[in-house]
Structure 1
Amino acid sequence: MRKTAATHDTGRIPGRPGPRAVGGTGSASAPVGPDLVHTAMPGAGPAPATAAPDHDPVPTAHRGAGPTPGPGERPTVKLRDAGPEEPPRYAPEWLELREAPDGAARAHELIDPLRIRLANLPGRSSDGLVIHDLGCGTGSMGRWLAPRLDGPQHWILHDRDPYLLHFAAVASPRAAADGSRVTVETRRGDVARLTPDALAGASLVTASALLDVLTREEIETLVDACTGAGCPALLTLSVVGKVELTPSDPLDAEIAEAFNAHQRRTELLGPDALTVACEAFAARGATVRVHPSPWQLGPADSALTAQWLRGWVGAAVEQRPDLREPAERYLRERLAACEAGELRVVVHHSDLLALTRPMDGATS
């Protein structure tokens, strides 16, 4: 795996914040972390989003706010040898902007089958669930999911950015759906070295907006770790390469095509990642469920939509420099419509629930 940096997220989709560092232990290395252990603190939450500074008409993606990494960078996790001097790649303001739309988009239809599986885990301890959140960012997945599951929970948050890890820990939920206690610890690590041993004792693996910024090899590593540990995986908000804007513009399709090509650069899977992950889980005997989870952005989401647009168009122009001139006009008009409350955007994603075979051989 190349030792390059990550920015972005969109993912995965335009303008999604990128995967945050994911992690566990390497097969031949000591555990990465935990470097902090916290119980959740009340009253903590993401800082208010700040207005984006003025940029050129078609900027390259904002760090932490858009889909485009800088030259020579990958929108995936930094390897463990990254120096402590490296600045954070994902702005908490961007992650906070997208938290509510992410929560609204995630497929609630997958929660009941997940609850049933968790309630019937072989050897489930009275101590409750142990949940690993890969690339946790500011911890929005935990804030969304923990209150939807019953029983005590211990969340292990993985990310390469210690600032985001601290943020996620102090802003984590305190109680499960039935009022049981939720605790959290943080770990720094790399998804490329995730192993079944790193997930020993795990009840569930989660991630959000992660798959589409991984390579095939990295997805295989993740799937091997989950199936080897016998724990289910809930992987949400993977982009699928489809965007709808209303009103439409003749340049929509060309920008979307260029953006999707940008997401597939340097061996990343982009919008193909969901299919690859489904096939990989199924090949290892897991039962796989997929459900749409689109962002549906309207006038109330204008701040997020504007940031997403800048990242989406910026990635397209980086992929196809010949689009710069028409894209400048396009972006100006789209941003004006967004500010006027006249633009609606649907960014299509899908959520994946993989019910792996438990370690005792029981069926999913």
Structure 2
Amino acid sequence: MNLSDAVRFTPDWLALREGADAAARAADLLVPLRAHLARAPSGQLVVRDLGCGTGSLARWLAGRLPGPQRWILHDRDPELLERALAGMPGVPAETRTGDITRLTAADLAGTSLVAASALLDLLTFDEVDGLAGAITEAGCPALLTLSVIGRVKLLPYDPWDGAFTAAFNAHQRRSVDGRLLLGPDAVTAAAEAFERRGAAVRTSVSPWRLGRAQSALVAEWLRGWVAAAHEQRPDLPAEDYLRRRLDACAAGELRAVVHHRDLLALPAPGGAAS
């Protein structure tokens, strides 16, 4: 396991990125989502947060959805689920431990919204396709946020930026235990999977825009990003590059734009969302 994998799901890393995530999320997608939910039968919304981590998506989204809600938090890590449940923003919630890629339409019965953050790029084509199939068969909308799309811009420019970006993207598409991850291709694959099943899909940009005020996040992100790139391409001058970039970060000179994309899929007319 490289540093990128090791830090990605720790509570400290998730806490460090929560503010940047909140600032980046595509709030424009909430307009059609709220309109859809307003047309659904009245009653309590049931929201499933897949791969919930420490619950940052719920803390951002719950207050932006209409009416009473009940959240079901899914993750494979019991410690993260415990933290997420403790940090819920005043709405009732319960937890589920398990593999979210095995969820079926029957598991999602009665769900008003499936939501996730920083999830799609960790999945394979078959897993994304299966999840889209379960969601559309259940007739509920999906809001899938903060998926990486393979674009990073660092200022000031360094001649090695492009090589490290390309190596990181290749690492995101690597095979893990026989699973070929989608990485930066995940949003495109998910949009096509939902559209094939008749869902109306919208996507919107959700970039991290990081500077001096986010220097701790930039430094930790850089370490993981460079480690993943170096694992993919050991010939890259990772130590020297990382030192230069961390020095610029410590001096307050480094700016980073890490591009993501959010996806909203609404069921076809006549769907069975509750």
Counterparts in 2 of 1:225 and 1:299: CA distance versus 1, 3 Å: same
CA RMSD of aligned residues (A): 1.4
User: 2:21 corresponds to which residue?
Assistant: 102
Task: Within 5 Å, give how 1:181-260 maps onto structure 2.
Answer: 182-260=91-169
Higher strand share: 2
The 1-side partners of 2:272 and 2:100 are apart by 27
Choose from 60, 63, 70 the match for 1:147: 63
Task: Look up the match of 2:209.
Answer: 296
Q: What's the offset of the Cα at 1:240?
A: 0.4
Distance 1:322 1:298 in 2: 29
1:144–1:361 distance in 2 versus 1, CA, 3 Å: closer
1:334-349, aligned counterparts within 5 Å?
A: 334-349=245-260
Letter in 2 for 1:144: W
- Using the alignment, how far apart are the partners of 2:113 and 2:125 within structure 1? 22
Q: Percent identity at matched positions?
A: 63
Q: How far does the alpha carbon of each residue in 1:303-346 deviate from its partner, in whole angstroms, 9 at most, with x for none?
A: 100010000000011001111xx221110010011011000000
The match for 2:262 among 345, 348, 351 is 351
Counterpart of 1:200 in 2: which secondary structure?
A: coil
Of 195, 199, 215 in structure 2, the residue corresponding to residue 282 of structure 1 is 195
- Cα gap change, 1:361 to 1:99, in 2 (>3 Å): closer
Cα distance in 1 between the residues matched to 2:202 and 2:272: 18
Counterpart position of 1:119: 38
Aligned residue in 1 for 2:240: 329
Q: Distance in 1 between matches of 2:168 and 2:145?
A: 20
Do the aligned residues in 2 keep the contact of 1:231 with 1:357 (CA within 8 Å)?
Answer: no
Kindly indicate whether the alpha-carbon contact (under 8 Å) linking 2:4 and 2:228 is maintained by their aligned counterparts in 1. no
Cα pair 2:69 2:92 within 8 Å, conserved: yes
Q: Which structure 1 residue ranges, 4+ long, deviate > 6 Å from structure 2?
A: none
Aligned residues: 269
- Residues 74 and 100 in structure 2, CA contact (< 8 A), matched pair in contact too: no
Deviation at 1:357, TM superposition (A): 2.3
Equivalent of 2:222 in 292, 301, 309: 309
Question: Structure 2 vs 1, CA of residues 170 and 132 (structure 1 numbering), >3 Å: closer, same or farther?
Answer: same
For 1:103-147, what per-residue CA distance to the aligned partner results, in whole angstroms no more than 9, with x for missing partners? 0000010011110001112xx242x10000000000000000001
Normalised TM-score (structure 1): 0.72
Which runs of no fewer than 5 residues in structure 1 stay unpaired?
1-6, 8-59, 67-89, 175-181
Structure 2 stretches lacking a partner, 5+ long: none
Whole-Å Cα distance in 2 between the matches of residues 362 and 285 of structure 1?
13
Secondary structure at the residue paired with 1:245?
strand
**DSSP 3-state at the match of 2:3:** coil
Counterpart contact for 1:241–1:271, Cα < 8 Å: yes
| Partner residue, 2:231 | 318
Q: Secondary structure at the match of 1:65?
A: helix
Cα shift at 1:65: 2.1
Q: Distance in 1 between matches of 2:82 and 2:26?
A: 27
**C-alpha contact (below 8 Å) 1:191/1:218 kept by paired residues:** no
Contact kept? 1:64, 1:94, Cα under 8 Å? no
Equivalent-residue separation in structure 2 for 1:191 and 1:283 (angstroms)? 21
Aligned to 1:85: none
Letter in 1 for 2:3: A
1:65 corresponds to 2:7 = yes
Cα distance per residue 1:183-219 (max 9 Å; x no partner) = 1000011122110001000000000000001000100
Q: Identify which of 165, 169, 174 aligns with 1:265.
A: 174
